[in-house]
Amino acid sequence: MERIRPRKLLKLNIVPVLVGFVLSSQSFGQSKLAMLHLQDSASEFPALLKLSVNNANKQRYSGVRVVEYRQNGNSKRYEEWVSRSGRKSRVEFPSSSEFAGQVIVEDRGERRHYFPDKNEVHISPARREDALDRLAGMARRAGKTKFTEQPGETIAGLKSILISLVDERGSIMQKMFIEPKTGIVLRRELFDRTGAPTGSFSFSKINLSPQFDDRIFILDPKGARTITPTDRIVEVARKDGYIAAALSGASGLKLDAVRTSTLSGEDVLMEIYAAGRERITLFQFKHVVNVDSMKLKRTSSGEFGTHSWTYRGHTFVLVGGPNAGALSKIAESLTVISKSGKD
């Protein structure tokens, strides 16, 4: 086994804060919020949100939901056909969709994503448990965050209660429209620190008494090749000239997804890990890139930790992290993957 030790371990100042939930608009002013019922402490989780979290493993429904998000300055919008039964879920796409034919099934802690064009099933840890659970944990930590509750809109024919997550300035960070009897989240909206929406989903149709065979949650197409995130790293590394390396699972991380992208004209391999309620992204550049550690730290504004180092002429950057100093420890667990797995 080859253990990679970063040449420089920088002193980090990782402040655990809400990851992914960012500040919101002044357009939702204090006067409007004053009408709402404000809970005094973040630990006072709204009863409806508790219901939603507790019922997440019991909900059964099928429906159509529209997902929108902004990424790299571009907006993306698509429709998903969703079937869900407790911890099991299945997502498909209309024939007119650019994702037509793809199927995503989650069951027993595993996520299987089928790509018909390549006849591949990509396997990763299930993500469903994360969302509201993460919200609960983050709200507990972010002491000055508050929840507001008020009657919501009728969505897909169902009445809802709107629960908003509000920061200490009174800006809305997130809105959740929840069906009060079942706790199903009918619509969810995220906002950035300027108040612009960064992403949302909303059900356009929903059936709370669906009739479906639970075998739809089995995804095992004949002859399909099974690809794990580690396989993806090896494949991309070989094809595009990256070092096939991953963070060790011993550090408590689960490799969730692998993707290539281009940042400021530089090709980069991104590995996304789940670490409890946190997400950590490992960026690998194919050569030495001048990443200014102090600038990186400033840019993250204390929202999450950052750590960068160079190995074998490649620059690595870690972003995310649960607490100070954790990233430099995690960086030490980077391990080169052999053909039969990690060395």
Partner 1 sequence: MKGHQSINMNELDKKLDGPSQQVIARAVSAMPEEDLSMAWRSQLNSQILAVAEAQVKRKRQLNIFWRPAFGLGLAGAIAAVVLFRPSASTPVTAPSIEGAIVQHHREYVGTYDLVSYGLSPIDARATGTVASPSPEWNESDLESF
77-106 residues near partner 1, rule: CB under 8 A: 78, 80-84, 89, 91-95, 98-102, 104, 106
Alpha-carbon span 96 to 79, nearest angstrom: 10
Long-range pairs for 67-74: beta carbons < 8 A, 24 or more residues apart: 67/199, 67/200, 67/201, 68/197, 68/199, 68/200, 68/201, 69/198, 69/199, 69/200, 70/196, 70/197, 70/198, 70/199
Comparing CB distances to partner 1, the nearer of 2 and 203 is: 203
Q: Tell which one of 14, 19, 234, 237 touches partner 1 (CB under 8 A).
A: 19
| Inter-residue contact 329 to 3 (CB < 8 Å) | no
With residue 5 as reference, give the H or E element that holds it.
none
**Stretch of residues binding partner 1 (CB under 8 A), selected from 7-15, 141-149, 203-211, 247-255:** 203-211
| Inter-residue contact 308 to 317 (CB < 8 Å) | yes
Binders of partner 1 among residues 20 to 49 (CB under 8 A) are 20-22
Binders of partner 1 among residues 233 to 292 (CB under 8 A) are 256-257, 259, 261, 263-264, 266, 270, 272, 279, 281, 283, 289-292
* C-beta atoms surrounding 152 within 10 Å: 21
Closest CA to 78 of 91, 87, 90, 88: 91
| Number of DSSP helices (H) and strands (E) in the chain, helices first | 6, 21
Comparing CB distances to partner 1, the nearer of 3 and 298 is: 298
55 touching partner 1, by CB under 8 A: no
Binders of partner 1 among residues 130 to 169 (CB under 8 A) are 130-131, 134-135
Q: How far is the CB of 284 from partner 1 (least distance, A)?
A: 11
Alpha-carbon span 124 to 162, nearest angstrom: 32
Beta strands in 72-192 (DSSP E): 74-85, 88-92, 103-107, 110-115, 120-125, 146-151, 161-166, 172-178, 185-191
**Sequence-separated (6 or more) residues with CB below 8 Å from residue 46:** 39, 147, 149, 163
Q: Tell which one of 210, 241, 302, 341 touches partner 1 (CB under 8 A).
A: 210
Q: How far is the CB of 2 from partner 1 (least distance, A)?
A: 26
Q: Which two tokens stand for residue 224?
A: 């399909």
**Stretch of residues binding partner 1 (CB under 8 A), selected from 46-54, 74-82, 147-155, 158-166:** 74-82
**Stretch of residues binding partner 1 (CB under 8 A), selected from 43-51, 115-123, 243-251, 335-343:** 115-123
Q: How far is the CB of 40 from partner 1 (least distance, A)?
A: 25
Q: Tell which one of 25, 55, 212, 324 touches partner 1 (CB under 8 A).
A: 212
Comparing CB distances to partner 1, the nearer of 178 and 289 is: 289
Kindly write out the interface string for residues 173-192 of this chain, putting x where it contacts partner 1 by CB under 8 A and - elsewhere: ---------------x-x--
Q: Three-class SS of residue 131?
A: helix
**Stretch of residues binding partner 1 (CB under 8 A), selected from 31-39, 243-251, 298-306, 323-331:** 298-306
